[in-house]
C-alpha cells in the first residue's frame, strides 16, 4: 500500500470531483495521505477533510510565499491545532526565493518561529524549498531542527545535499519530477539514497508525473513515482511501497 506524504486535496481544483479522486487513489493502492495546509483557508479545509476521512492526516503550517501575512494569532492557532490527533506534522514551511511577495528576512523569521514551535509540540516538519537551499540548510542547523526531523518535500537538490539533510534527521521525498525524462538530479537521488531514507508524494494538484505532466495531478499517480523509483533501483514496486509506507508511518507516529 502506498503512502502519499504530500497532497493538496484542500485545493479548489478538487471541489467538483473529490470523491472520484479519492476513489481513484484507493484503486491505485494508496492507503494514506497527508493533506497539507499552508494558510488560513487551506488549513481550515485540511482539518475538515481529516475529520471526514479516516485514512487522511493533516500537516499545518505557513507557506514562505505568504510569510508576510502570518500573524502571532496564526502561529498560536497552529499550535492549538497541533494537539489534534490527526495533525502529524507542521508545514509546509521554509523559504521560496522565486516569488517576491514576502521579503527574505520575513520568510526566515517565520521559518524559524515554526521550527521552534515544532520542537515545542514535538512534531516533524515539512520543508518547502525553492531556490534557497543553502539558507534552508543553515537555518535547520542553527535551529537544531534535527530534534524533530521531517521531510524535504519534493526534493530537487543534489545527492550531496540530500545526504546532508539525512544527517539532520530528514527524509527525502520524491514526486512527479523523478519521472521526467531530463530530471537528472531526482533520478540520481533515487538511485543513490537508500530506500530507508526515501518517501513518495504527488504534491497534487501540482507536478503531475509523466505521462500526465502539465495536467492536474492526483494521489493515484503516486504509484507512477513509486514505479519509477523501483525501476531505477532495480527492485520490485512492492518493496518501494512497503518501505516508504513504513518510513512515513514511523515519521508521523501513525500506528502500523
Is residue 207 predicted with pLDDT exceeding 70?
yes
Q: What is the rounded average pLDDT for all residues in the chain?
A: 97
Does residue 92 have a known ligand-binding role?
yes
pLDDT of 117-140, one tens digit each? Answer: 999 999 999 999 999 999 999 999
Q: What is the mean pLDDT of residues 179-198?
A: 97
pLDDT (0 to 100) of residue 238: 98
Does residue 197 have a known ligand-binding role?
no
Gap between the terminal Cα atoms of the chain: 12
Percent of the chain with pLDDT over 70: 100
What residue has cell string 514496486? 237
pLDDT (0 to 100) of residue 256: 58
pLDDT of 17-72, one tens digit each? Answer: 999 999 999 999 999 999 999 999 999 999 999 999 999 999 999 999 999 999 99
From CA 89, how far away is CA 227, in angstroms rounded? 26
**If DSSP codes are grouped into helix, strand and coil, which group holds residue 58?**
strand
Does residue 8 have a known ligand-binding role?
yes
Model confidence pTM above 0.95? yes
Residue (of 165, 153, 91) closest to 121 by Cα position:
91
Does residue 153 have a known ligand-binding role?
yes
From CA 172, how far away is CA 158, in angstroms rounded? 11
Is residue 205 predicted with pLDDT exceeding 90?
yes
Residue (of 173, 103, 165) closest to 139 by Cα position:
165
Amino acid at each position: 500500500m502506498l503512502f502519499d506524504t504530500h497532497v493538496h486535496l484542500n485545493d479548489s481544483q478538487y471541489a467538483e470531483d473529490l470523491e472520484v479522486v479519492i476513489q481513484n487513489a484507493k484503486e491505485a493502492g494508496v492507503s494514506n495521505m497527508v493533506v497539507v495546509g499552508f494558510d488560513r483557508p487551506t488549513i481550515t479545509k485540511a482539518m475538515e477533510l481529516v475529520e471526514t476521512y479516516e485514512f487522511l492526516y493533516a500537516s499545518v503550517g505557513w507557506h514562505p510565499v505568504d510569510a508576510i501575512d502570518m500573524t502571532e494569532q496564526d502561529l498560536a492557532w497552529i499550535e492549538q491545532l497541533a494537539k489534534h490527533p490527526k495533525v502529524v506534522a507542521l508545514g509546509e514551511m521554509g523559504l521560496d526565493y522565486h516569488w517576491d511577495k514576502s521579503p527574505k528576512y520575513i520568510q526566515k523569521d517565520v521559518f524559524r518561529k515554526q521550527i521552534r514551535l515544532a520542537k515545542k509540540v514535538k512534531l516533524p516538519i515539512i520543508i518547502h524549498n525553492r531556490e534557497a537551499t543553502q539558507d534552508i540548510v543553515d537555518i535547520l542547523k542553527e535551529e537544531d531542527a534535527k530534534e524533530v526531523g521531517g521531510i524535504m518535500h519534493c526534493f530537487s537538490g543534489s545527492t550531496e545535499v540530500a545526504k546532508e539533510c539525512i544527517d539532520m534527521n530528514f527524509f527525502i521525498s520524491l514526486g512527479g519530477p523523478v519521472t521526467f525524462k531530463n530530471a537528472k538530479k531526482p533520478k540520481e537521488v533515487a538511485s543513490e539514497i537508500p530506500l530507508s531514507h526515501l518517501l513518495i508524494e504527488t504534491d497534487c494538484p501540482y507536478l503531475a508525473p509523466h505521462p500526465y505532466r502539465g495536467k492536474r495531478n492526483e494521489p493515484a499517480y503516486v504509484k507512477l513515482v513509486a514505479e519509477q523509483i523501483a525501476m531505477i533501483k532495480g527492485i520490485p514496486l512492492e518493496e518501494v511501497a512497503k518501505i516508504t509506507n513504513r518510513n512515513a508511518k514511523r515519521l508521523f507516529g501513525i500506528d502500523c
